[in-house]
Structure formats: C-alpha cells, structure tokens
Structure 1
Amino acid sequence: MSRISKNRKIALSKVDSTKEYSLKEASQLVKEITTTKFDASVDMDVRLGVDPRKSTQMVRGTVTLPHGTGKTVRVLVLCSADKEQEAKDAGADYVGLDEYIEKIKGGWTEIDVIITMPAIMGKIGALGRVLGPRGLMPNPKSGTVTNNIGDAVRQVKAGKIDFRVDKAGIVHTSIGKVSFTPEQIADNAREFLRTLERLKPTSAKGTYMKSVYLSSTMSPGIKIDTRALTEA
C-alpha cells in the first residue's frame, strides 16, 4: 500500500469531506491545497442527472471562459487557400491543407484544436482514426467546422473550451490555473456551470446537477454546494 506524502496529508487536513463549500470558498481553498511545483490546472467535475445513452439527453457544448484557460492553445486551421491569411491574422499556429493532412496521417498530432471549413470535411473524414481518439476531430457543434475561420480561431485563443458528458454522466473540464486569483477561478467556474444549466435537456428528470467538485492537478476534490452556485 502506497504511503501518503506529507504535502498530501496537509492538503487532506484542510478539506472537510463532509462539507459542501461555496464557490468562493472552494476557489480560495483549491489554491491553498495545491503543492505542485508547476502551475497546476484547476478542474471541475460535474455529475449530471442524465442518461447519455439517450440522444435526447446528450449534453455537449462550448463556453468562452471570461479569464481564459491559462493554457497556450495550439491551433491548426485546415482551409482553402483564400482563407489562409484570415487564419494567420487571427493567430492560428499552423495553416494549410494537404501537407498537414499528410502529416496527420503519418501520426503528427502536436496540436490542441483543429478548425476547418464545411467544404473541407470530405478530406478530413479519413483522419478520424487518428483524430477521433484524441478528441481532435472538428465538429460543427463545437464551432470548429465553420466558414468564419477568423472568429473561430480568436474564440479558441481567448479561452473557448469544448465539453461533453461521458458515459457515466460526468462532465470533466479544466477551467483555469492555480496561478489565477480566487475571483478569476470562481468567475470561470460560474460561467461554465451557467452554460451547463442552459444546456439541460428537456427530457432530463429530477436533479440535474447531482454533484460538483473543484480540484487541481493531484489535489483532493472540494465538493461544491450546488444550492449556492449563483452566489455573488
């Protein structure tokens, strides 16, 4: 049986597992219990009262976090030649088409988001086996298949994230970094949760947000009081 480190013991001692914290309290506490030497990600896990096996209860969407994610997002734009300059001006890291399709076929996936156009999707379909398992396949629902290339790139660079409920009914996403202020963490969390609330399926019955936890990389989870999610 593995031993619990000293820092882990300290972190666990600061979190009351029987208590439900306000978003304000949790945003401060997650900074206090993080002991990593790197700038850890701040994550949210939300268990929803939905059945993802039913198409009418699949929860998926995007949200632009007010303070961004704190991460450097590498964006590849696969587009026609007439859109290349628009993509570059918007801040895309890689822009092109056939040469990048061949690179991806060869196993290159050193990117975080791929944005493309509807007219190009026919060429990208063959990349599904490489991109699908990595969550990189462009999708109209996430805004990554669009003719408004410049706007899409700027939104992703500004902190737009894509999320979806998994088979267990849980939505997991990163909403920032431990280096953020507690207010920034709370703002991002609140915007994410409000977006989830707006996406509540009409066919979902009973409690929608069953549990919400805030944590950082390798920290204990902090349970959020779902009744106080709209506190100022």
Structure 2
Amino acid sequence: MAKKSKQYLAALEKVDTEKLYSVEEAVALVQETNYAKFDATVEVAYRLGVDPKKADQQIRGAVVLPNGTGKTQKVLVFAKGEKAKEAEAAGADYVGDAELVQKINGGWFDFDVVVATPDMMAEVGRLGRVLGPKGLMPNPKTGTVTMDVAKAINEIKAGKVTYRVDKAGNVHAPIGKVSFDAAKLVENFATIQDTMVKVKPSTAKGDYIKNVTITSTFGPGIKVNVSTFNKA
C-alpha cells in the first residue's frame, strides 16, 4: 500500500470515516479537506449492486451537469460536407475525416471528447485500439455518434459528463471543482444521483446503490448518507 502524505493524513483527521454525511455536509467537508495547489476536481463514486458481466446491467451513458464541470473540453468531430461545416459553426475544436484518423494513429491526442456522424464510424472504427483504452471512442449511448453534431458539441461544452460502470460495479463521475459554490456542487450531485436512479437495470437484485463517496483529487473520501435519497 502506498504511503499517505502528511497533508492527506491531516485532512483525513477532519473526517469521521464511520459517519454517513448529508450531501451538503459532504461537499463542505470535501472543500475543507482539499489541499491541492490547483483547482481540484470533485468526484462522486458509486458502488452499485449490479453485475457488469451481464449485458443488461452494463450501465453507461451521459448527462449534462447544470453548473458544468469547470473544465473546457476540447471536442474533435469526425464529419464531412455540411455536417463538418455545422460542427465548425458550433465551436468544435477539430473537424475532419481521414486526415484526423491518420493523425491520431500517429500518436496525437490533443482533445478530450470525440464526436462522429454515423457515416464516419466505419473509418473511425479503425481507431478502436487507440481510442478505446482511453475511453474516447464515440458511442451512441453517450450521444457522441449522432447526426446532430451541433447539439452534441453544445452539450459537451456546457458540461456533459459520461459515466460507465467498471468491472467491480463502480461508477465515477466529476461534479465540478473545489472552487465552485457549494450549492452548485450539490446541484450537480443531485443531477448525477437522479440519473443513477433512472438507469437502474430492471434485472438488478437486492440493494442497488450500496454506497456513495464524494472526494477531491487528492483528498479523502467522504461517505454520503444514501438513505436521504429517493429509494431505488
């Protein structure tokens, strides 16, 4: 186990690791215990009672946070003709087709999100080995394979985040920065929470949301009282 820093241990002393905090208390404590020299990201982590090995329990999607993430996303769009012009007008950072495929295959990754029109997916599919491991492959479930490229770009720029359950049944998602007003972090959290409840698989048995933790980039995790949420 990696040795914890003195700053982390000092922050951890402020947290009752046995207590389940309200979301308002958890957000306040995350801001208080942050010791990063930069504007750290605040993240929520869910442990869900699902079996990711089952196709109908592979939770994946995207949601637009009402207060954004505090990060400006660089958007790359694979499109041709009028859709390429539409993407440029909507504020895409990079727009193209075959030349961008070649550039990415050469090791270029100066972007955060990839959007593609359906007709481009045969070409984009050649990038699966390099985009897939980085979580950058366009997917209809996250709204990044679409003919409405302008809407996709606008949502991403406004604070759209993607989520996906991992092999252990966990979901992680950013809800903003520690510099955010606490009420805005709470509102962003509520949006993620509502989404997690709505995407509960009908085949999931037992407790669905087992625990929820909020943390900053380097800070300790703060457990949130799930009993105050809508029952899933």
**TM-score range for the pair, normalised by the shorter chain length:** over 0.9
Q: Secondary structure at the match of 2:172?
A: strand
* Counterpart Cα distance in 2 of 1:33 and 1:119: 48
* Counterpart Cα distance in 2 of 1:2 and 1:51: 29
* Counterpart Cα distance in 1 of 2:147 and 2:37: 42
- Residue 71 of structure 2 is aligned to residue 47 of structure 1: no
* Counterpart Cα distance in 1 of 2:9 and 2:143: 43
Matched residue type, 1:108: W
* Counterpart Cα distance in 1 of 2:140 and 2:9: 45
Aligned 1:161-172 pairs, distance under 5 A:
161-172=161-172
- Residue 152 of structure 2 is aligned to residue 155 of structure 1: no
2:7 aligns with 7
Q: Is the 8 A contact 1:81 1:96 kept in 2?
A: no
Q: Secondary structure at the match of 1:71?
A: coil
2:216 aligns with 216
Q: Give the Å deviation of 1:6.
A: 3.7
1:121 aligns with 121
Q: Is the 8 A contact 1:73 1:112 kept in 2?
A: yes
2:35 aligns with 35
Q: Give the Å deviation of 1:2.
A: 6.9
Q: 1:160 to 1:3 in 2, by over 3 A?
A: closer
TM-score, normalised to structure 1's length? 0.96
2:102 aligns with 102
- Residue 229 of structure 2 is aligned to residue 226 of structure 1: no
Identity %: 50
* Counterpart Cα distance in 2 of 1:112 and 1:126: 19
* Counterpart Cα distance in 1 of 2:65 and 2:135: 20
Q: Secondary structure at the match of 1:134?
A: coil
* Counterpart Cα distance in 2 of 1:14 and 1:75: 39
* Counterpart Cα distance in 2 of 1:210 and 1:6: 30
Q: Is the 8 A contact 1:23 1:229 kept in 2?
A: no
* Counterpart Cα distance in 2 of 1:88 and 1:2: 46
* Counterpart Cα distance in 1 of 2:162 and 2:2: 35
Q: Give the Å deviation of 1:176.
A: 0.8
Q: Give the Å deviation of 1:107.
A: 1.3
Q: Is the 8 A contact 1:20 1:224 kept in 2?
A: yes
Which consecutive unaligned segments of at least 5 residues does structure 2 have?
A: none
Q: Which stretches of structure 1, 4 residues or more, deviate above 3 A after TM superposition?
A: 1-6
Q: Which moved more, 1:19-28 or 1:55-64?
A: 55-64
What is the count of residue pairs matched by the alignment? 230
Q: Deviations over 1:157-195 (max 9, x none)?
A: 101111110000000121111111111111111100110
Query: How well do the aligned residues superpose, as a CA RMSD in angstroms?
Result: 1.3
- Residue 185 of structure 2 is aligned to residue 189 of structure 1: no
Which consecutive unaligned segments of at least 5 residues does structure 1 have?
A: none
Matched residue type, 2:155: Q
Q: Give the Å deviation of 1:4.
A: 4.6
2:85 aligns with 85
Q: Is the 8 A contact 1:22 1:229 kept in 2?
A: no
Q: Deviations over 1:74-125 (max 9, x none)?
A: 1001101211221112111111112111101111111111101111111111
1:17 aligns with 17
Matched residue type, 1:194: D
TM-score, normalised to structure 2's length? 0.96
